[in-house]
Amino acid sequence: MTVELAVLTWGCVLALVHIFAAAAAKTAQYGSKWNMGARDAELPRPNPLNGRLVRAQNNFFETFPIVIALILTLSAAGMASETTAMGALLWLGARIIYLPLYALGIPVVRTLVFLASVVGIAMLGSPLIGPALSALF
């Protein structure tokens, strides 16, 4: 297994962590009856932790599909390299750090960590740009 595919596997684990962290915060605020119910009723505004965990989850799922596509494309094309491995690890490490920073409400550092994850995504995608352009033109 390549580093990139291992990161993809751990990214799936991190996705579950996001889902369950947000669900636990919602359940803590709204109760287990809400959690097990149909969730049809209007809810009060989320408390700060609940809101931050939901936003962190949304942010994760905005970028995770890009990472999935890049890693699978790299793997299918046999283009994994040291650079893409470092990019994958940078993305995963930054995303692991991002969740508690967001949960704790730490603004500037959180944004810098997010930007580090974007650099990791760029490192994953950069080797694919040239071949993708060649294939189209």
Give the residue among 61, 48, 70, 65 at the shortest CA–CA distance from 98.
Answer: 61
Are the C-beta atoms of residues 32 and 96 closer than 8 Å to each other? Answer: no
Report the alpha-carbon distance of residue 16 to residue 90 in Å, rounded. Answer: 19
All structural domains of the chain, each given as residue ranges with its CATH number in brackets, are: 3-136 (1.20.120.550)
Residues 94-129 have pLDDT tens digits of: 999 999 999 999 999 999 999 999 999 999 999 999
Write out pLDDT tens, residues 86-95: 999 999 999 9
Helix 3-30 to helix 82-103 angle (10° resolution) is 10
Q: Which residue has the higher pLDDT, 39 or 114?
A: 114
Percentage, residues of the chain above pLDDT 70? 100
Enter the pTM of the model: 0.92
pLDDT at 43 > cutoff 90: no
